[in-house]
């Protein structure tokens, strides 16, 4: 049998990438009709109304106080603009629906969540919230919707605009300092076809400082202590703060997050740029896929638990803005991760591996890293941090393309391969069947692997790679690497068909 070509599989897998928001239909597109429907209308009355179609109430807050959860009912908000100046505690078992985004508008200006699905202990919410816009009136509203300790809640077709801290927060009561797994996870959580505009915030050190020595940011959508949540077809556009973020220190299992389009600021006063996605403590086969974002994503702590992966991150598109501050694209700080079929452009770093404890089993394959640049710091396709006393093991880098990963000067650590920092142990680094190519205007011969000489590297294998205008570096052993032009199409859309091999490419049947 012939050995598989270095790059053959990359073209086939990239053809499955879909655009954000299309293709896959929602799994739940109906609002349950379990009982009586109560009506609320801007022209209604809390004094003389009874919640009927002909005599509706005036405010959601009043309706939430009147409807009993045992009725298994729906509160229907008619079209129009509602003024709500205090939080609305929605009972479990009660649905809430509007006439549609932009038709039903809830305006709020209180220092709490406008709609509160909150219980003192975990219960079945069995409710759907849908079909309206929450207007925070220029960030005069703390947050849009809070879900706390309720299973089986669906939130769909809602627009969140101009809240101060966050648009939507869902969790099981976890706290920011929870370092052990929670006793309870929420199940049956679905969020889809929602839109967030300017709903998050950057906090300075003196505002709820959590000890990092820098400020921190909230997210437009915040989640924690969830098992099996499904979040998809979300659009986020922020002028400060982050996109999708953990709360209560995270703790997520079996999460599916897909087909989202997220844009956040490319300048941040504390971290260089705001995150698009930041999730902590991930376990049991989480999946993040087919998303389009304009800035970095971060996954910190976790392992496969009872599954085969902590997280699979695939078929995502990360393209930094031309005028932005190049940041790490993927911060991968959990064990048992698989990162594949992603396209990353104009980052400062592609994948950064770091942890304050041991980390193992990270597979990075069939990605394209293109046009990386950082004007004042190091640039790399893969960066490895090894703190003193830590062990990072079984890191596999297969079938990727590293194209124009270019520094601006010869500061130590300017690389396109791996950078090893500090004084830990790296055991079992494999870099195989990749294309490293430099077709830019920079004349510096970047290294495939640059090692600063600290720490210890054991059992490295860097072989069967194609190097075009690139040198090997100093952290071998190196074997069977080919110095040649890979012979790609070099035209059309990136990644496909731009990186397709020509039929006469010298790489065909040269891999392993």
**Contact 290/261 with Cβ under 8 angstroms?**
no
The token pair at 91 is: 């009972």
Residue 176's pLDDT is 78
Residue 30's pLDDT is 35
Within a domain: 272: no
* Region class of 228: left (phi > 0), else alpha (psi between -120 and 50), else beta: left
Within a domain: 235: no
User: Which residue(s) pair with 281 in the sheet?
Assistant: none
- Cα(51)–Cα(78) distance, integer angstroms: 12
Q: How confident is the model at residue 214 (pLDDT cuts 50, 70, 90)?
A: low
Choose among 494, 492, 491: nearest CA to 342: 494
Q: What is the residue whose two structure tokens read 């598989």?
A: 4
- Cα(289)–Cα(287) distance, integer angstroms: 6
Find the largest Cα–Cα distance for the chain: 84
Within a domain: 60: no
A 10 A CB-CB count for 72 gives: 16
Residue 8, helix vs strand vs coil: helix
Q: How confident is the model at residue 424 (pLDDT cuts 50, 70, 90)?
A: confident
Cα–chain-centroid distance for residue 185? 20
Choose among 449, 448, 497: nearest CA to 468: 448
* Region class of 480: left (phi > 0), else alpha (psi between -120 and 50), else beta: left
pTM over 0.75: yes
Best mean pLDDT range from 10-24, 209-223, 374-388, 478-492: 478-492
Considering only residues 268 and 274, tell me which one the structure prediction assigns the higher pLDDT.
Answer: 274
Residue 415's pLDDT is 53
User: What DSSP string describes 89-109?
Assistant: EPPTT-EEE-S-BTTEEEEE-
Reply yes or no on whether the pLDDT at 9 is more than 70.
Answer: no
**Contact 186/229 with Cβ under 8 angstroms?**
yes
Angle at 80 between CA 45 and CA 116, to 5 degrees: 75
Q: How confident is the model at residue 270 (pLDDT cuts 50, 70, 90)?
A: confident
Considering only residues 229 and 14, tell me which one the structure prediction assigns the higher pLDDT.
Answer: 229
Ranking 83-92, 234-243, 469-478 by mean pLDDT, the lowest is 469-478
Which H or E element spans position 353? strand 349-353
Reply yes or no on whether the pLDDT at 109 is more than 50.
Answer: yes
> For 351-375, what is the mean pLDDT?
87
> For 347-359, what is the mean pLDDT?
84
Could you read off the pLDDT of 115-134 as tens digits, one per residue?
Answer: 999 999 999 999 999 999 99
Within a domain: 364: yes
Q: What is the chain's mean pLDDT, rounded?
A: 86
User: Which residue(s) pair with 134 in the sheet?
Assistant: 106, 160
> For 471-484, what is the mean pLDDT?
86
Within a domain: 7: no
How would you class 25 by CB atoms within 10 Å of its CB: exposed for 0-12, middle for 13-18, buried for 19 or more?
Answer: exposed
> For 256-264, what is the mean pLDDT?
98
The token pair at 116 is: 């509160």
Residue 267's pLDDT is 80
Which H or E element spans position 234? strand 230-237
Ranking 83-97, 211-225, 467-481 by mean pLDDT, the lowest is 211-225
Ranking 236-250, 434-448, 468-482, 490-504 by mean pLDDT, the lowest is 434-448
- Cα(161)–Cα(209) distance, integer angstroms: 26
Could you read off the pLDDT of 71-106 as tens digits, one per residue?
Answer: 789 999 999 999 999 999 999 999 999 999 999 999
216-217/202-203 β-pairing: antiparallel
> For 280-297, what is the mean pLDDT?
97
Reply yes or no on whether the pLDDT at 376 is more than 70.
Answer: no
Number of domains in the chain: 1
> For 59-79, what is the mean pLDDT?
93
Within a domain: 447: yes
Residue 354's pLDDT is 80
Ranking 17-31, 320-334, 358-372, 482-496 by mean pLDDT, the lowest is 17-31
Within a domain: 360: yes
**Is the bond leading into 369 cis (omega within 30 degrees of zero)?**
no
Residue 411's pLDDT is 36
**Is the bond leading into 477 cis (omega within 30 degrees of zero)?**
yes
Provide the residue count of the chain.
512
Ranking 41-45, 123-127, 214-218 by mean pLDDT, the lowest is 214-218
Residue 223's pLDDT is 98
Residue 31's pLDDT is 38
**Contact 6/464 with Cβ under 8 angstroms?**
yes
134's CB contacts (< 8 A; 6+ apart) are 106, 108, 114, 115, 141, 144, 145, 158, 159, 160, 161, 163, 167
Reply yes or no on whether the pLDDT at 496 is more than 90.
Answer: yes
Q: What is the CA radius of gyration of the chain?
A: 25
Q: How confident is the model at residue 135 (pLDDT cuts 50, 70, 90)?
A: very high
φ, ψ of residue 232 to 5 degrees: the values are -155, 160
Considering only residues 487 and 377, tell me which one the structure prediction assigns the higher pLDDT.
Answer: 487
Share of the chain above pLDDT 90, in %: 66
Reply yes or no on whether the pLDDT at 397 is more than 80.
Answer: yes
122-to-129, 152, 186, 399, 494 alpha-carbon distances in Å? 18, 11, 8, 46, 47
Residue 462: half-sphere exposure toward Cβ, Cα within 13 Å: 21
- What domain range is 406 assigned to? 348-512
**Contact 106/82 with Cβ under 8 angstroms?**
yes
Residue 419's pLDDT is 55
- Cα(418)–Cα(319) distance, integer angstroms: 21
> For 428-447, what is the mean pLDDT?
80
Within a domain: 469: yes
- Cα(50)–Cα(45) distance, integer angstroms: 8
Reply yes or no on whether the pLDDT at 170 is more than 70.
Answer: yes
**Contact 199/163 with Cβ under 8 angstroms?**
yes
């Amino acid at each position: 049998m012939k050995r598989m070509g270095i790059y053959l599989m990359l073209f086939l897998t990239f053809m499955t990438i879909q655009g954000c928001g299309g293709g896959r239909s929602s799994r739940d597109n109906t609002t349950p009709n379990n009982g009586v429907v109560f009506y609320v209308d801007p022209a209604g009355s809390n004094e003389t109304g009874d919640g009927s179609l002909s005599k509706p109430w005036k405010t959601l807050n009043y309706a939430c106080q009147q409807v009993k959860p045992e009725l298994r009912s729906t509160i229907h908000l008619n079209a129009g603009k509602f003024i709500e100046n205090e939080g609305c505690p929605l009972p479990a078992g009660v649905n809430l629906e509007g006439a549609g985004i932009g038709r039903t508008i809830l305006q709020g200006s209180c220092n709490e969540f406008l709609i509160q699905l909150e219980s003192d202990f975990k219960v079945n919410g069995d409710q759907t919230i849908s079909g309206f816009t929450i207007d925070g009136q220029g960030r005069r509203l703390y947050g849009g919707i809070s879900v706390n300790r309720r299973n089986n809640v669906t939130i769909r077709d809602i627009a969140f605009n101009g809240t101060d801290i966050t648009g939507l927060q869902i969790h099981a009561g976890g706290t920011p300092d929870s370092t052990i797994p929670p006793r309870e996870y929420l199940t049956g959580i679905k969020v889809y076809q929602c839109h967030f505009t300017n709903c998050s915030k950057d906090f300075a050190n003196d505002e709820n400082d959590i000890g990092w020595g820098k400020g921190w940011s909230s997210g437009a959508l915040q989640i924690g202590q969830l098992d099996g949540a499904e979040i998809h077809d979300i659009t986020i556009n922020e002028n400060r703060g982050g996109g999708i973020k953990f709360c209560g220190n995270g703790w997520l299992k079996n999460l599916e997050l897909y087909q989202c389009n997220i844009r956040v600021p490319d300048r941040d006063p504390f971290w260089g740029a705001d995150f698009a996605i930041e999730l902590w403590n991930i376990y049991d086969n989480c999946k993040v896929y087919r998303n389009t974002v304009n800035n970095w994503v971060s996954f910190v702590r976790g392992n496969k638990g009872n599954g085969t992966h902590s997280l699979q991150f695939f078929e995502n598109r990360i393209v930094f803005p031309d005028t932005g501050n190049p940041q790490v694209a993927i911060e991968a700080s959990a064990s048992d991760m698989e990162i594949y079929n992603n396209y990353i452009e104009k980052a400062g770093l592609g994948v950064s591996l770091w942890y304050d404890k041991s980390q193992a089993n990270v597979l990075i394959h069939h990605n394209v890293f293109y046009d990386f640049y950082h004007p004042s710091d190091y640039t790399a396709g893969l960066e490895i941090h090894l703190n003193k006393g830590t062990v990072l093991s079984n890191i596999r880098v297969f079938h990727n393309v590293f194209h124009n990963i270019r520094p601006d000067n010869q500061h130590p650590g300017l690389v396109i391969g791996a950078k090893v920092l500090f004084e830990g142990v790296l055991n079992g680094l494999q870099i195989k069947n990749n294309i490293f190519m430099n077709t830019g205007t920079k004349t510096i011969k970047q290294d495939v692997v640059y090692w600063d000489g600290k720490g210890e590297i054991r059992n490295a294998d860097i072989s069967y790679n194609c190097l075009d205008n690139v040198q090997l570096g100093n952290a071998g052993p190196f074997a069977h690497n080919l110095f040649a032009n890979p012979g790609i199409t070099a035209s059309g859309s990136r990644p496909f068909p731009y990186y397709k091999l020509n039929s006469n490419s010298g790489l065909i049947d040269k891999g392993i």
